[in-house]
Structure 1
Amino acid sequence: MAISLSAARLAVKSPLIAQPDPSHTVWSRLEPLATSDDVSDSLQARIADPLWMLARQWQFNELQGEDAGSPISAALAVVGLPVSTLLHQQNAVDAVTLPAGAAAIEALVEHEQVLSVHPKLNAQAGQQLMRRLRAAGLPDAGQVLRAQFPAALPAPDDAVADNAGFVWHMLLDQRAIDAQALASTLKALPDRAALEAFTSGLGVAAAQVGSAADLLSHWLGWLDELALDGSAPGASPYWQPQRLEYSFALGAQGDGPPVRLQADEYADGRLDWHSFTLGAAANLPGGPSEAFDVPPKDAPPPRPPLPTTARYPGMPADRYWEFEDGRVNFGMLGAAKSDLTRLAVLEYALVFSNDWFTLPLTLPTNALYRVSQFDVRDNFGITLTIPPAGWNMFEMSLQPGAPVARLDNALYLCPALNTLEGPPLEHVLLVRDEMANLVWGIEKRVQGASGEAIDRKFESTRLSTNQTLRPSADAPANGALLQYTLQTPVAANWVPFLPVRKEGATPANWAIQLQRGVVTHYYQVTASRLADPVNLRYSAFIERLRSNRFVETTGVQGAVDNQLQGFMFHPRGSLLRLDPNAPVASDFLRVEEEEVPRDGIELKRRFNYARDAQGRALLWIGRSKTTGRGEGASGLKFDVVTRGKV
């Protein structure tokens, strides 16, 4: 419909409005207008004819030159502060000074004692010394050391369930040197003269005392580099048992006040800059405002880094009709109109994924860095200065009360370790059981007598809660129509966690914690019935329960002809223990209730192996916590009535 300007009482101030310049239409980008929730048909890119393909290439700007340069080099300047201290989150007094060339932060935080909890490795380290002594022509000295420091590999409680522990007990018990005990004795010697006196006491000839002392010194150095050994038994001092995660802080000292970085919830075994926050706690003074003003440490790259296109598995090809590997099928990613997150991922992958570049940069470890200069040169010779993006997506978070409003252009680069993780020495699941209204700690794998992992479920079957007495041959048949069960059995490797009131909770703020408990099972232990030949296997089962150090027993109750005894199953591993060195019957772990979500959590304790920036091999035992696999069902019921066999 035409509209008259005069009829509409509109005045034209410029003739360009009444007579605009001719325009032309171009395609700079195709925006799909979806009429269906399925995007697979549009992503198939069906081919019609050559002319149609040329038109589609023209529409997708494949025939257009943009006169845009590609980055070919970059000039980068980085300044930073060295990390100087490692300290507890709540106790800044016990700070550990980190010297130059210290081990990676992950290893220092996670490591716990190795030789004391792995008798097989301890004995094998002693065998290494015996082999060295034999190679040096001193086999008698090795036998004397074995007699003075015998390595003990105790027999397992159940040889069938812990077969590896039984085998290594028969092979190595008292047949190797206790490496940990010998190392403690050698380290206590004050000087070289004392070491040679100790060596001469091993029956070494006077002419070989010096070489034998050197051999012991070399072996002691080898043992120190074998694994990072903790100073105290049990978990790392940075492990928070009530949270089932690590908590620590780092101090970075420069010319100004120190910087304090806090890692409150480090649990997944991968330490990176986003694991840290900056806060102002009473025991962590100082802030970064002046620390970054005077850069105390310059870390220029040894050579200009070359920008490379960012790649990821399944990335779309650069050309539209180029064959792809098919590892990721974007055509199967159906998205509704309201599914904004999936649409954003699709748009990034299909449109903007080739616009990102990466710069490989090697920096000294254990330091807090920021980029002071960033210039990029393209293939046309144009140098462009890249300013800070100002995004807080790629910088550390700040806790309430932090000394600064934000950390502009600051990034903590932790040692990038490619850690090799061994099979779990201990594997525990914490799941919620809605039917029983409990949280269960399920021990799947624990360390056996030799230190090797054993299947806790198989051992639980050996400690079966379904064992029953067989009636004697002259006993009358049970003809009861209804049979009453006070409590259904639960597997021995299922440990309950009961809700208890949190210490210090008030009626206005009533908070709970989950405290580890036990399930008590009562079994028939009448002597006459246990002596019956038909109950031979049941009698052996009772003896296994009574001899197991992780099973607590109660007194025998009842009449002489009907005696019962209670058995309480405690955890065998250390993940569900507050103090593994305390008696298991008096050690109760309390876990914060919010740490066990509906999906549960998965705890693992295992060996980690990595090489640091100096090329040193690092071996340590660490722990990790990840999301679980969902809820569980223990089958625990009370007051169950079933129909008997007539």
Structure 2
Amino acid sequence: MLVPVESKLIEINKAQAFPITLAWSRLEGRPRSNKFDRALKAEVRDALWMLTKQWQMGEFAGDDAGSPVTCKISTSTATVNKYQAGSQPVQPFDKEVPFEALVEQRPLPFSTLEQDISLDLRLVMGRRWIQLLKNKGVLAATRQFFLDHYGIQQPIPDESGATICAHAEVWQQFAAVAGRMVDGARLYADFTAATHYYNLPDFPLPADTGTFDEIEATFTAWYKDLFYQPADAANNAWQPQQLEYQFAIAAGTPAGEKVMHAEEYYHGHLDWYNVDINRNVPALDQLPGNPAPPPPVVNTQSMIPAPVVFDGMPNTRWWAFEDGKTNFSYITPDTTDLAKLLLVEFGLVYANDWYLIPYRLPVGSLTTIKGLTVTNSFGETFWIEAAGRGDDNDWQRWNMFSLKVDSDTPVAADTDLLLLPSVAKIQEGKPTEEIVLIRDEMANMVWAVETVVPLPSGYSKRGAETAGEFHGFLQKLVTDAVGPVVTPAPVTDGDEAARIRYQVMNTIPENWIPFVPAHTAGSHQEVQLQRAAMPRILEGDTAKPDKIRPRTALLQPGLKDKLPYFIQEAEVPRAGVRVTQSFQRTRWTDGRVFVWYGVRKTTGRGEGSSGLGFDRIVDRPVEK
């Protein structure tokens, strides 16, 4: 008798003799013909439902909107021709230089209050000078002369050389090149001195200085090409009292000169949003020689608008799909992310309603759009006005790339377009100086903590470590001079078992520089922060304590001339301020490389406490 296969499998599974896995093949439909015409028609079976949904969404309310076909634009372009750094003299605006380098440039730090620094740069400049002398064949006759007059000196391990000898690695570097290498920075400073080096009586060559003038010209051109810095050390836009850059530019428009200024720039990238129009200043001072400003260029041009296209935008074609790399559904903006919400709305709702008109403008210019007309596909011509027109104080107006107007009286909004010669990317080196301004509510003052301090070798070190080494070296000098400090015998007055003692004042690290509140001149209510100093207490030193001076150039304004230094109180919020100084590098449009020394300011990390205290009762260890 024949047994069905299905029954046999059921019996085997019940007996559990061995497991059996059942599998089925996938069923696929077989087309009856090779024609796909009907399938590609995408027929709609319920057209009435589709019409009702369109009526429900308001798609039947047509507005007879045509697509732009042609447009005509008329502009007036004025050249920015004046630049003023802070309150310094006005100079011509150089658009062949990155604007960040022009504004942020500061003189290289070759010296501080007590000591010459940047040994690495001095050695590089000195080596270049020796190479130029060798190329001209005058090295053998003048090498010893330059070593005697401009050579690196051996540091003396006393108070005068404490900034070098207090740090072992710095002392080693100076000792390794002392008497062997030329100080290029000191030699470069002698080029403009009254007594030139080849006018000295012991100069070994005759009075024919043509060769050395040529060497100096080559050396100067090489140095200026290597580092971009102001010709005058004081002619820079950094304002120490505000801890930010301030500058002004001007352009000659048909209505007169237009002045634009930046009062709070410290971000590291310059663009139109850093500059405001200053209506309170009618014009900047005249340029040297009083040259006439270049006249504005009027241009009229006809163009064809092109629709805006971006990845991920809704595609209107039936068999085309959007780019999956841009997925707007993955965006999860917060309720306060207005810019992100506007971007999503633009991409999903109004993506096909925007058109682009390419228009080329020169850098370093201020452009006024005199008129714009658009002709659509119905042959209608429309006059387009700026969306941001109206009163400048009207917060409901919508605008982009427009400048804010600073004026004492209500004025109309300015819709001019400013195009600055800025760069897209800047390489920033490690900070050579760093200070952190923090508020100390317990001491009722502000502390400027030098967290990174430049060393004379050209490298930098942590401020706390540098302060400890410097104080320890000075303490060693005092100890070697007067001998070890002898602890006086305890007084047996019956209170020798007391576990507390009175302390007049405790000490803090030397890299903490105090700023105390001081009244602003002419005001009894406004307060500013004035740089102060802590005394340097050395055990066994009978002389009057010296004042601790800052070692960073950011905190040394006015010290050389014995002038006070003030910081506006509003510049140090409760969160604190972090200010750094470092080298910046970028490549310009013509391939040139610009390297300059600039400052950055960022927000701090909150309040702090130095632990400074007066009239304290402290514990005293009791000997058993």
TM-score by length of 2: 0.68
Match for residue 501 of structure 1? Answer: 519
Report the secondary structure of 1:24's partner residue: helix
Query: Would the aligned equivalents of 2:576 and 2:603 in 1 still touch at CA under 8 Å?
Result: yes
Report the secondary structure of 2:270's partner residue: coil
1:513 to 494, 505, 528: 528
Counterpart check, 1:84 vs 2:60: no
Matched ranges for 1:565-604 at <5 A? 566-582=545-561, 586-604=562-580
CA shift, 1:617, in A, is 2.2
Match for residue 257 of structure 2? Answer: 258
What is the rounded CA distance, in whole Å, between the counterparts of 1:203 and 1:328 in structure 2? 80
Query: Would the aligned equivalents of 1:484 and 1:642 in 2 still touch at CA under 8 Å?
Result: yes
Counterpart check, 1:25 vs 2:53: yes
Counterpart check, 1:626 vs 2:621: no
Query: Would the aligned equivalents of 2:86 and 2:236 in 1 still touch at CA under 8 Å?
Result: no
Matched ranges for 1:28-427 at <5 A? 79-90=76-87, 94-98=89-93, 101-114=95-108, 116-117=110-111, 118-135=118-135, 138-140=138-140, 143=143, 146-147=146-147, 149-152=149-152, 155=155, 157-159=162-164, 162-163=167-168, 165-183=170-188, 203=205, 214-233=214-233, 236-254=235-253, 256-281=255-280, 284=283, 296-297=296-297, 330-331=331-332, 335=334, 340-342=335-337, 344=338, 347-353=341-347, 355=351, 363-371=361-369, 387-390=385-388, 391-401=398-408, 404-416=411-423, 418-427=425-434
Report the secondary structure of 2:52's partner residue: coil
Query: Would the aligned equivalents of 1:254 and 1:296 in 2 still touch at CA under 8 Å?
Result: yes
What is the rounded CA distance, in whole Å, between the counterparts of 2:355 and 2:517 in structure 1? 51
CA shift, 1:501, in A, is 1.0
The alpha-carbon distance between structure 1 residues 589 and 441, as it changes in their structure 2 partners (threshold 3 A), is same
The alpha-carbon distance between structure 1 residues 628 and 187, as it changes in their structure 2 partners (threshold 3 A), is same
Q: Which amino acid aligns with 2:271?
A: D
Q: Which amino acid aligns with 1:104?
A: P
Match for residue 34 of structure 1? Answer: none
The alpha-carbon distance between structure 1 residues 239 and 501, as it changes in their structure 2 partners (threshold 3 A), is same
1:427-479 Cα offsets, whole Å, 9 max, x none, are 111111122222110111122213332321111233569x9998769879974
Report the secondary structure of 1:449's partner residue: coil
CA shift, 1:167, in A, is 3.8
CA shift, 1:248, in A, is 1.9
What is the rounded CA distance, in whole Å, between the counterparts of 2:164 and 2:56 in structure 1? 74
1:454 to 433, 457, 461: 461
| Mean CA deviation greater in 471-480 or 447-456 | 471-480
CA shift, 1:414, in A, is 4.2
Counterpart check, 1:432 vs 2:411: no
What is the rounded CA distance, in whole Å, between the counterparts of 1:481 and 1:197 in structure 2? 72
What is the rounded CA distance, in whole Å, between the counterparts of 1:575 and 1:460 in structure 2? 17
What is the rounded CA distance, in whole Å, between the counterparts of 1:614 and 1:473 in structure 2? 74
The alpha-carbon distance between structure 1 residues 171 and 322, as it changes in their structure 2 partners (threshold 3 A), is same
What is the rounded CA distance, in whole Å, between the counterparts of 1:306 and 1:177 in structure 2? 63
What is the rounded CA distance, in whole Å, between the counterparts of 1:371 and 1:450 in structure 2? 55
Query: Would the aligned equivalents of 2:167 and 2:469 in 1 still touch at CA under 8 Å?
Result: no
TM-score by length of 1: 0.66
Q: Which amino acid aligns with 1:223?
A: Y
The alpha-carbon distance between structure 1 residues 157 and 435, as it changes in their structure 2 partners (threshold 3 A), is same
| Mean CA deviation greater in 394-403 or 316-325 | 316-325
CA shift, 1:370, in A, is 3.8
What is the rounded CA distance, in whole Å, between the counterparts of 2:381 and 2:215 in structure 1? 60
Match for residue 15 of structure 2? Answer: none
Q: Percent identity?
A: 26
What is the rounded CA distance, in whole Å, between the counterparts of 2:586 and 2:57 in structure 1? 47
Q: Which amino acid aligns with 2:512?
A: W
Report the secondary structure of 2:464's partner residue: helix
What is the rounded CA distance, in whole Å, between the counterparts of 1:460 and 1:316 in structure 2? 59
Q: Which amino acid aligns with 2:527?
A: I
What is the rounded CA distance, in whole Å, between the counterparts of 1:406 and 1:611 in structure 2? 36
Query: Would the aligned equivalents of 1:74 and 1:377 in 2 still touch at CA under 8 Å?
Result: yes
1:66-98 Cα offsets, whole Å, 9 max, x none, are x9999999998764222212225556xx21123
Can you give the 5+ residue segments of structure 2 that lack an aligned partner in the other structure? 1-49, 112-117, 156-160, 286-293, 389-397
The alpha-carbon distance between structure 1 residues 635 and 213, as it changes in their structure 2 partners (threshold 3 A), is closer
Report the secondary structure of 2:223's partner residue: helix
The alpha-carbon distance between structure 1 residues 160 and 179, as it changes in their structure 2 partners (threshold 3 A), is closer
Q: Which amino acid aligns with 1:364?
A: P
CA shift, 1:415, in A, is 2.4
CA shift, 1:240, in A, is 2.0
Counterpart check, 1:491 vs 2:509: yes
User: Which has the greater radius of gyration?
Assistant: 2
The alpha-carbon distance between structure 1 residues 140 and 441, as it changes in their structure 2 partners (threshold 3 A), is same
The alpha-carbon distance between structure 1 residues 210 and 460, as it changes in their structure 2 partners (threshold 3 A), is closer
Query: Would the aligned equivalents of 1:161 and 1:458 in 2 still touch at CA under 8 Å?
Result: no
Query: Would the aligned equivalents of 2:257 and 2:282 in 1 still touch at CA under 8 Å?
Result: no
CA shift, 1:224, in A, is 2.2
The alpha-carbon distance between structure 1 residues 350 and 267, as it changes in their structure 2 partners (threshold 3 A), is closer
What is the rounded CA distance, in whole Å, between the counterparts of 2:379 and 2:210 in structure 1? 67
Report the secondary structure of 1:605's partner residue: strand
Q: Which amino acid aligns with 1:425?
A: T
The alpha-carbon distance between structure 1 residues 26 and 502, as it changes in their structure 2 partners (threshold 3 A), is same
Can you give the 5+ residue segments of structure 1 that lack an aligned partner in the other structure? 1-21, 31-60, 62-66, 287-293, 527-554, 557-564
Q: Which amino acid aligns with 1:492?
A: E
Query: Would the aligned equivalents of 2:252 and 2:295 in 1 still touch at CA under 8 Å?
Result: no
